[in-house]
Amino acid sequence: MLVTLLAAALLGQTPAKARAYTVHDQVALRRLLAFKVSPDGARIVYQLRTTDLEANKGLIDLWLINADGSNPRQLTTAPEPDTDPVWSPDGRSIFFLSARGGSSQVWRLSLEGGEPTQVTKSPIDVDAFVLSRDGALIAFAAETFPDCESLDCTKKRLDEKAKSKATGRVYDQLFFRHWDTWKDGRRAHLFVTKVAGGPIVDVTKRLAADAPPKPFGGAEEFTFTPDGKALVFTARDAGRAEAWSTDLDLFVTPSDGSKPPTKLTTANRATDTQPLFSPDGATLAYLAMKRPGYEADKLTVVLRDFAKGTERALTADWDRSAHAVTWAKDGKTLYVTADDVGQVALFAVDVASGAVTRLFNQGSVGAVDASTGKLVFALDSLLSPVDLMSLPLDGKGAPTALTKVNADLLAGVKLGQPEQFSFAGANGDTVWAYLVKPTDFDAKKKYPLAFLVHGGPQGSFGNHWHYRWNPQAYAGRGYVAVMVDFHGSTGYGQAFTDAINGDWGGKPLEDLQKGLAAALAKYPFIDKDRACALGASYGGYMINWMAGVWNEPWKCLVSHDGNLDEQFAWFDTEELWFPEWEHGGTPWENKDGYQKHNPIDHVAKWKAPMLVVHGGKDYRVVDTQGMATFTALQRRGIPSRFLYFPDENHWVLKPANSVLWHETVLGWLDQWTKK
């Protein structure tokens, strides 16, 4: 009920004649993406994304509010995104990233008046940055050719390549392409310079690795030591094994580049990530996994006495995987977010004892700040996009809404009501699921079903407002949406997550089958004869698997970026550690692991109409997997359609493409369920 009350407070009461939620509402929503609280706790800066439909892109600007949520005002209006705000230590100005000058650089905006001024003068784009505690130094990430002695050398080489008529590239090891980008020989390196200006020093030039790691590492992966004399950062220094290694390590290097980086986490061959110093600077907190090669292993909070080098696994006995950590102002508590039974909850961890207390678990908690005597955090749910909340440090009482960034856009929109339920799944284990009712819900009517299968597979379809796979888009179209957190999902203990390893089409399929049966038994308004199933990534694989081994009662299926052939998928993907862990080695070492639940072996039993969707820049699940799926459907004479996005990756991000995706998918469901 708390989430419902929060949504009402954020969005306002729904008018009696409200209209149903649509994809056009979804692409128009403002997105609160990041925030920082001022050093004195009096103000909060946040970045807000709005959609420019004509330009087919998002516009990101900085906004400022008082700590009580009053007086919101827009700070920047550049045509290029202004992102990643950081306060100066005196709280009188804000540093941020912007390409307003034609290249992505760090800029500074004085809150005492005037226009932003450029801080960094890098000849190539700056990708992320952090400040030293005294505000004198800035460290930034940029992509450079490792053999170049300066950024000017990299710029010159890029200019020469742009002029060359030859387009071929030569590669000597894997990761020649990653996520959605072809490599060109550059590495992400870290550079340090004075805020006031001066020489730019590459402090990682002796390291043959990306720092921060690709493809998603940012400013959370590097930080100055409290005295500013060194930089602690994360990198995967694995050489030619980079494509099949999850061994991220923490390194330390002098800020002046006088010595090569030194590895801090030499004992652990699995992931170490997100270093963050305590307020007094004595302790370094970070997150660590234990099992090499497993990207979904539990992340444990580790504390390192930085002077002595001794370490303590603070949350070793806590059966949750931490997303991120935030220090309390006094350094006695760490605030941690983690998936928790369909929520992303907020926890307090006592630094001395490791005792964990759940503070809030209604919705999905994002970034958290506890630096000024209260908790400020981002929160969304199935009933509300992201807004900022505040809560006492002890978590007592209901959170106070600080922003209402979409109140006007959703004031006339009616949303479907969510409900969480559970059932006995595989092995008799309790499995949880969510149902979202149609917006025009009438208990006396029957409604078609949209059965959504999440990706990952180590993920969750929980109490979260999704900007791509949002159950409200189906509820607004008159569907009941059901989402099952099958074995392999996160937030139910590490053993539950691990249960999918080597069993992709086993226990998860059983959970989905039993989840559907439980939903039909519990909710008589679901029309079992008008059901379609949809999924992306692992969910797309599962749709392909279901098409052959569970092809009733589906009137239609939607497979987005899903593998058809698990064995060949090893050969055409990029992050090899993922299939090698999930299927127990390489295809020649354990062919049975890849063939055990391989959709391609059951194509002869396919019969349900299927829509196939794929992105041309998806190098995780390569587009030929989608093309092969469509080829099999067409050759077998099964009603089918192929929606292809040449300019999208594993996700559909552009506003116009999102509209097309939803219209095509919902039209496909309508075609087979609403005759």
pLDDT band at 565 (very low <50, low <70, confident <90, very high): very high
Do the beta carbons of residue 467 and residue 29 sit within 8 Å? yes
Rounded average pLDDT over 355-370: 97
pLDDT band at 17 (very low <50, low <70, confident <90, very high): confident
| Residue 567 pLDDT exceeds 90 | yes
Q: How far is CA 95 from the centre of its chain?
A: 24
Share of the chain above pLDDT 90, in %: 95
Averaged pLDDT for residues 265-275? 97
State the Cα angle at 115 between 113 and 117, rounded to 5°.
120
pLDDT at 550 over 60: yes
pTM of the model: 0.96
Contact in structure between 627 and 573 (CB atoms under 8 Å): no
Which pair of tokens denotes residue 334? Answer: 């760490």
CA 464/CA 384 separation, integer angstroms: 8
Comparing 100-104, 308-312, 314-318, 553-557, the range with the smallest average pLDDT is 100-104
Known catalytic residues are: 537, 618, 650
Asked, as a colleague might, if the bond just before 471 is cis with ω within 30 of 0, I would say no
CB neighbour burial string for 527-537, b if at least 16 within 10 angstroms, e if fewer: beebbbbbbbb
| Contact yes or no for 378/387 (Cβ under 8 A) | yes
Over the stretch 449-505, which tens digit does the pLDDT of each residue have? 999 999 999 999 999 999 999 999 999 999 999 999 999 999 999 999 999 999 999
What is the reported pLDDT for 12?
53
Interval 6-20 mean pLDDT: 64
Mean pLDDT score of the chain, rounded to an integer?
96
Q: pLDDT by residue (tens digit) across 607-636?
A: 999 999 999 999 999 999 999 999 999 999
Work out the number of other CB atoms within 10 angstroms of the CB of residue 353.
8
| Cα angle, residue 663 at apex, residues 660 and 667 outer, rounded to 5° | 140
Residue 373: the pLDDT is 86
Of 635, 211, 659, nearest to 643 (Cα)? 659
DSSP string, 590-654: -HHHHHTT-GGGGGGG--S-EEEEEETT-SSS-HHHHHHHHHHHHHTT--EEEEEETT--SS--S
The β-bridge relationship of strands 526-536 and 447-453 is parallel
pLDDT value at position 206?
Answer: 81
Query: Quick one: pLDDT at residue 11?
Result: 58
pLDDT in tens, 571-601: 999 999 999 999 999 999 999 999 999 999 9
Percent residues over pLDDT 70 in the chain: 97
Dist. CA 485–CA 535, nearest whole Å: 13
Catalogue all structural domains in the chain, each as residue range(s) with its CATH number: 414-673 (3.40.50.1820)
Q: Distance between CA 245 and CA 578 in Å, rounded? A: 9
254 dihedral zone (left: phi>0; alpha: psi -120 to 50; beta): beta
- The predicted-structure confidence for 153-164, as pLDDT tens digits, reads as follows 999 999 999 999
Average pLDDT over residues 353-373: 96
Flag whether pLDDT at 70 surpasses 60.
yes
Q: Which of 499, 526, 507, 511 is nearest to 461 (CA)?
A: 511
234 pLDDT above the threshold of 80: yes
Q: Is the pLDDT of residue 6 over 90?
A: no
pLDDT in tens, 296-340: 999 999 999 999 999 999 999 999 999 999 999 999 999 999 999
Q: Which pLDDT score is estimated for 1? A: 52
* pLDDT above 90: residue 14: no
For residue 256, the 8-state DSSP code is T
Whether the pLDDT of residue 7 is over 80: the answer is no
Residue 289 CA, distance from chain mean position: 18
Q: Report whether 314 contacts 278 (CB < 8 A).
A: no
The C-alpha atoms of residue 74 and residue 83 are separated, in whole angstroms, by 13
Per DSSP, the three-state class of 10 is: helix
Q: Which amino acid is at 64?
A: L
